[in-house]
């Protein structure tokens, strides 16, 4: 199993550009999450999904959109990037089965918006 993978690993955008981050998991997990990590603030939840075709807002959803068209993929979109979105983005997934609460994290995407 590859676990949770993220594409790309690094990206530099100019203000106003758009991009999509891809998260893929091969563990047949129901739940998927997008976080951003900023110094001193831990990880903050952007959006999450409790199953294929569903999405919900997290703690810091503004400026981001997501889609979960396939169970194994969770896409995070930035329609018009801003410097405040410079961050490291982590995707995670959870099985969703009874008693299965551990989140498995991807390797992260480092995004810089200039």
Residue 50 contacts other proteins per CB under 8 A: yes
Residue 96: CB atoms within 10 A of its CB come to 14
Residue 27 contacts other proteins per CB under 8 A: no
Q: What sign does the CA torsion over 23, 13, 78, 40 have?
A: positive
Binding residues with other proteins: total (CB under 8 A): 25
Residue 103 contacts other proteins per CB under 8 A: yes
CB–CB of 72/51 below 8 Å?
Answer: no
Give the interface with other proteins as residue ranges (CB under 8 A): 31, 33, 35, 40-45, 48, 50, 56, 58, 90, 92, 94, 96, 99, 101-103, 105-108
């Amino acid at each position: 199993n590859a676990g949770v993978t993220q594409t790309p690993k690094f990206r530099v955008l100019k203000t106003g550009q758009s991009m999509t981050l891809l998260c893929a998991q091969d563990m047949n997990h129901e739940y998927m999450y997008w976080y951003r990590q900023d110094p001193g603030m831990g990880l903050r939840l952007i959006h999450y999904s409790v199953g294929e075709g569903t999405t919900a807002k997290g703690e810091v959803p503004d400026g981001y959109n997501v889609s979960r068209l396939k169970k194994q993929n969770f896409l995070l979109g930035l329609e018009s990037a801003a410097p405040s979105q410079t961050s490291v983005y982590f995707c995670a997934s959870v099985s969703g089965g009874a008693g299965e609460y551990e989140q498995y994290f991807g390797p992260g995407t480092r995004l810089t918006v200039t």
